[in-house]
Amino acid sequence: MEQFSVGVVGAGYVGLVTGACLAHVGHRVVCVDRDEGRVAGLNEGRVPFFEPGLEELIARARRRLSFTTELPEVVREVDVVFVAVNTPPGEDGSADLSSVASVARAVGRALAEAPGERERPLVVVNKSTVPTGSGDYVSMLVREGAEEAGDGKVDYRVVSNPEFLREGSAVYDSLFPDRIVLGADRRDALDTMRALYEPIIEQNFPAQLDPRPRDAVPFVTTDTASAEMIKYAANAFLATKISFINEIAGICELVGADVTNVATGIGLDGRIGSRFLSAGIGWGGSCFPKDVAALRAIAREYGHEPTLLDATVTVNARQRRQVIAKLQRDLRTLKGKRIALLGLAFKPNTDDLREAPSLEIARLLHSLGSRVVGYDPVAAKRAVGLLPELKVVFDPYEALEGAHAAVVVTEWEEVRVLDLERAASIMESPKLLVDGRNAYHPEDAATAGLLYRGFGRG
C-alpha cells in the first residue's frame, strides 16, 4: 500500500471522521481547524461531539494523526488536502461557500510560498457538500490565491469527493461505504485518489468486524459536476422517500389502514426497498434540510421549478404541525398542559440538534401555552439553555412526571424500552402518548393505560 501524507481542513463531523479513518488505514493525517480550543481538546484526546466509535478510533490512530491550526504548513507538506468545512444555507437556501472560498485561497497562497518543487501536484479535494460548478470555482480561487502570493503557476488538481456519512454510524460508513464517488477532469488526480482509498476499496485494512460487509467497494469516477450532483440527488431522494411514506400515512389514517404494514408490504419490492419508509415526524438534521434547500436553489437559479422537491419540504413541515394537531385533538386546549418530549437530537446515536424537530415542536407548544420538558440520553447537555421555553432533564421519568402528554420525537433505545406502565402511573390524565416514530405497539401502550396516537395508524 502506498502511504500518503494527508491534510484535512475542518475538524467537524465530516473532517474529523475522514481524517481518523484515513489514519486508521495507514496514512499520515493532519487535521486543521481554526478553533484553537477544539484543536487543543483533540490533541488531549477529547472529541467535541458524540459519534459512536470515533473517540476510540482516534486514540488507536494517534501515531499517524495530529491536529493543528496552521494551514500553510500543512499544505506545503501533504500530497492531498481535503476541504471539509461547513456550507450553511443562506436565506434563499443556496449554499454559503465563504468558508470553502477562504480555504481555497489560503491553499493557493501556501502553495505559492512553498520553497522548491513538489514531487507531485497537490490534490485539493472538495469533501464539503457544494453546488454543481464548485470544482471550477475552487480551482479558480486556488489560482487567485497563488497569484496574490506572487506565483500563479502552482501545480494542483481539484477533485470532488462527496461524503455519504450518516451521523450515528459515520465511522462505519467511512470504512465500509456503499460506494466512493470521485469527480475530476484529470486522470492523474483520479489515480492518486484511487491509490489513497485502496485500503478501503480493497477492504484490506485492520478491522474489528468479521465478516466484512463486502469484498470490495464500488469506485465511481465521473466529472466534477456529476459528482457534486450525486450528493445532492442522493439526499434529496431519501428525503423525498420519507415524505412519500408520510403522505401515505396521512391517507392511512383517513381510511383506517396501518402505514407500518403498508411500508412492510411495499418495501419488500426490490425496486422500492424497506429503508427510509418509517412514517412519523419527518426528517431534520444538518444534511437533508440543507441539501434539499440547496438543490431547490440551484434549480431556480436556472429558471427550473423543482415541484417534487417543493412538495417534499411541504409534507415534512406538515408532519411537525401534525404533532400539535394530535395533541389538540385529545387535550383540547394546550394552555397550562405539561408536555414531555422524549428525544431531542434529530436522530438516535448523535447529539446533533441542528434542524431537530424537537426544537420546532417545543417552540410551537410554548407559543400555545404549554410547559415543555425534554429528555435525551445524549443530546440533553447540548440542549440545556438552547431554548428558554424548553426545560431539559436527564431522566425520562422526570420528564413524564405530571405530564398530560408525551411525544416520542427521537427513537433512542432508551426511549423504546421505557416501562409504559410506570409512565402511565406518573402522568396526568388523559395520559396521552403521541408516538412520532411509531416506536411502540399500540396494544402495548393501551394495555399500560396510555391513550396512544401514532402516525398513519388508522
Report which residue type is found at 395. D
Q: Which of 171, 234, 179 is nearest to 201 (CA)?
A: 179
* Interval 330-345 mean pLDDT: 97
Which range among 65-69, 167-171, 233-237, 413-417 shows the weakest confidence by mean pLDDT? 167-171
Considering only CA atoms, give the Rg of the chain.
24
How far is residue 421's CA from residue 412's CA, in Å, rounded to a whole number?
A: 19
Across all residues in the chain, what is the average pLDDT?
A: 94
How far is residue 405's CA from residue 424's CA, in Å, rounded to a whole number?
A: 10
| CATH number of the structural domain 259-453 | 3.40.50.720
List Cβ neighbours of 304 (8 Å cut-off, separation of 6 or more). Answer: none
**Position of cell 431539559?**
392
pLDDT recorded at residue 456: 97
pLDDT tens track for 10-26: 999 999 999 999 999 99
pLDDT recorded at residue 214: 75
Report which residue type is found at 434. V
Question: Could you give the angle at the alpha carbon of 284 between the alpha carbons of 282 and 286, nearest 5°?
Answer: 160
* Interval 30-45 mean pLDDT: 95
For 336-357, letters b (16+ CB in 10 Å) and e give: ebbbbbbbbbbbbbbbbbbbbb
Report which residue type is found at 424. A
End-to-end CA separation in angstroms for the chain:
57
pLDDT recorded at residue 88: 87
* Interval 48-68 mean pLDDT: 94
**Position of cell 485494512?**
205
* Interval 281-289 mean pLDDT: 93
pLDDT recorded at residue 62: 92
Percentage of the chain beyond pLDDT 70 is 99
pLDDT tier at 208, thresholds 50, 70, 90: confident
**Phi, psi (5° rounding) for residue 256?**
90, 20
The answer, yes or no, to whether residue 163 has pLDDT greater than 90, is yes
Q: Which of 435, 451, 211 is nearest to 330 (CA)?
A: 451
Q: Which of 252, 189, 178, 256 is nearest to 220 (CA)?
A: 178
Cβ atoms of 95 and 231 within 8 Å: the answer is no
Q: Which of 43, 131, 33, 120 is nearest to 82 (CA)?
A: 33
User: How many CB atoms lie under 10 A from the CB of residue 130?
Assistant: 23
pLDDT tier at 154, thresholds 50, 70, 90: confident
pLDDT recorded at residue 259: 97
pLDDT tens track for 320-329: 999 999 999 9
pLDDT recorded at residue 458: 64
pLDDT tier at 345, thresholds 50, 70, 90: very high
Q: Do 5-222 and 259-453 come out as alike in CATH topology?
A: yes
Sign of the four-CA dihedral 186, 190, 191, 196: positive
pLDDT recorded at residue 436: 97
The answer, yes or no, to whether residue 211 has pLDDT greater than 80, is no
Question: Which grid cell is 272?
Answer: 422500492
The torsion defined by the Cα of 110, 22, 292 and 364, in degrees rounded to 10, comes to -100
pLDDT recorded at residue 31: 97
pLDDT recorded at residue 212: 78
pLDDT recorded at residue 262: 98
pLDDT recorded at residue 95: 87
* Interval 140-153 mean pLDDT: 87
pLDDT tier at 210, thresholds 50, 70, 90: low
Half-sphere exposure of 361 (CA within 13 A, CB side): 36
DSSP state of 172: H
Report which residue type is found at 69. T
287 has catalytic annotation: yes
* Interval 363-387 mean pLDDT: 95
* Interval 323-349 mean pLDDT: 97
pLDDT tens track for 217-256: 999 999 999 999 999 999 999 999 999 999 999 999 999 9
Helix axes 224-255, 307-331, angle to 10 degrees: 40
* Interval 411-438 mean pLDDT: 97
pLDDT recorded at residue 114: 81
The answer, yes or no, to whether residue 160 has pLDDT greater than 70, is yes
pLDDT recorded at residue 118: 77
Cβ atoms of 253 and 325 within 8 Å: the answer is no
Ordered DSSP codes for 121-169: PEEEEE-S---TTHHHHHHHHHHHHHHHTT-----EEEEE----PPTTS
Residue ranges of domains in the chain: 5-222, 259-453
Report which residue type is found at 300. R
The topology under which CATH files domain 5-222 is: Rossmann fold (3.40.50)
Percentage of the chain beyond pLDDT 90 is 88
pLDDT tier at 132, thresholds 50, 70, 90: confident
